[in-house]
Amino acid sequence: MPQPKLDEDLVQRLATIAARLDGGDELADASLVAEFNQLAGTDIPFSEFQGIYGAEEHIDYVRRVLTDGATEASPGLDREGLTTMFAKVLADPCDDAYLQYVFSTIKKTFGDTQISDLVFWPGEYFGDGNNQRELTPELMADAVLERHAKRQSR
């Protein structure tokens, strides 16, 4: 499945709304929350908008939300496909749009919510604290598939 293409006008409008909601007043801004959710096809509570700027830019938040919503599980995704995805991630780990697409696809396909840890903090993913290990795309794909197989066998 290809990476979703986002409507840039919508991204800009939603980023403006998110910026207004971040630090806003829950009662006074209820209509903005409703507008954001209607335009984005989400059901995000007011509280989630609080402190976005402390963690990421509003436009990046919006891109993440929209990409996650537009990304579907990919039942045919196999080791080769995962390896290709991880190779692209490792080649350009600053491509936030592609990262979100990969993280969402793997989460929705394999139920693995720690993919960002696998890429950036492997010690957290494997639970051994060794964040210095160098993982190849093949090893990353194997880790996802192994974890999925373990969950399926329970």
Domain of residue 65 covers 8-70
Q: Is the pTM of this model over 0.85?
A: no
In a domain, 34, yes or no: yes
**Number of domains observed in the structure of the chain:** 2
Same domain, 46 and 86: no
Q: What whole-number distance in Å separates Cα of residue 4 and Cα of residue 18? A: 21
In a domain, 35, yes or no: yes
Judge contact between 14 and 52, C-beta under 8 A: no
Same domain, 85 and 63: no
Mean pLDDT of 3-27: 96
Same domain, 63 and 43: yes
Mean pLDDT of 106-119: 96
Mean pLDDT of 145-151: 95
Residue 94 has pLDDT above 80, yes or no: yes
pLDDT computed for residue 24 by the predictor: 96
Quick: pLDDT tens for 37-68: 999 999 999 999 999 988 889 999 999 999 99
Same domain, 64 and 85: no
In a domain, 2, yes or no: no
Q: What whole-number distance in Å separates Cα of residue 4 and Cα of residue 70? A: 6
Same domain, 65 and 115: no
Q: What whole-number distance in Å separates Cα of residue 95 and Cα of residue 14? A: 20
Judge contact between 135 and 118, C-beta under 8 A: yes
